[in-house]
Amino acid sequence: MKELVLAFLDITSEALEDNWLNKAAASIVAPNCNRTRNGKKAPNVHVEIWFRDTATDGYSCSICFGKKVHWHKKSFSRVWSFRSIHCNESTYSKIKSWCMMQRDCSFNHLGFFGMGLGLRISGSWCTFFGYKPRYFCSELVCKALMHGEILVKRNTVIHPEELFNLIAPISSVTTIKYKNYDKMSY
């Protein structure tokens, strides 16, 4: 079995910039968010998919506002929340290769801002004109999980908090910290 790790940042994370975009992303779902931090609602506003090849090593795939889809070696800190999805080698490879092929795709501005208006505009609209698809973070990760048949076919234009709640039943809480169980005794 291989492990896919979804890494989420909530609005209270010190890893996020304090800007109007992150606050706007949080306000879209804050009324429906049931998790709190320091007594306040703390919805997730960013997600990345991490292909953990070893205990501490792997490649991350995601996209940030106004940037391109990235695929690079990354290490995560404890300010992230992690969910593991265990899958077979074939599914893992399928998702990994799909993510690698999305490198340098642009940000889906239309879908990102449309969500604030209640619209679900997929970044695939530009493929009708011969361009690469566009994504925002949770749209990219959702599409990757659908490509690997971990999620059933659905609208991929979802908020990171929505994705967190969607994968909760099929994933487990995890950590990036390596545990040396061989040396434990009872």
List pLDDT tens digits, range 41-83.
688 999 999 998 776 678 999 999 999 999 999 888 778 899 9
Task: Count CA within 13 A, CB hemisphere, residue 134.
Answer: 20
The reply to whether 43 falls in a domain is yes
The answer to whether residue 103 scores a pLDDT higher than 80 is yes
Angle between helices 89-101 and 137-147 (to 10 degrees): 140
Look at residue 58 in the predicted model and tell me its pLDDT.
86
Residue 108 has pLDDT above 90, yes or no: yes
Quick one: pLDDT at residue 40?
56
CA distance 147 to 179: 31
In DSSP terms, 49 is beta-bridged to 6, 61
* CA distance to 76, 114, 176, 178, per residue, from 57 (Å): 10, 36, 10, 11
- Is 128 contained in some domain? no
pLDDT averaged over every residue in the chain: 84
Q: Is residue 126 part of a domain?
A: no
> Which alpha helices (H) appear in 33-159, and where do they start and end?
89-101, 109-116, 137-147
Mean pLDDT in residue range 121-130: 93
Q: Is the pLDDT of residue 27 over 90?
A: no
Residues 6+ apart with CB under 8 A from 150: 4, 85, 87, 91, 95, 170
Counted domains in the chain: 1
Average pLDDT rounded to a whole number, residues 4-19: 78
CA 43 – CA 31 distance, rounded (Å): 9
- Say how far apart CA 89 and CA 87 lie, in whole Å: 7
Distance separating the N- and C-terminal Cα atoms of the chain: 27
Q: Does residue 183 lie within any of the structural domains?
A: no
Residue 166 lies in a domain: yes
Within-domain flag for 118: no
Question: What is the value of pTM for the model shown?
Answer: 0.84
Residue 154 lies in domain = 2-104+137-178
Q: Looking at the domain assignment, is residue 123 inside a domain? A: no
* Confidence (pLDDT) at 53: 74
- Could you give the percent of the chain with pLDDT greater than 90? 60
Quick check: is 129 in a domain?
no
State the virtual CA torsion across 133, 160, 61, 126 in degrees, nearest 10. 10
Q: Which DSSP category does 174 fall into?
A: E
pLDDT digits (tens, 9 = 90+) for 139-168: 999 999 999 999 998 899 999 999 999 999
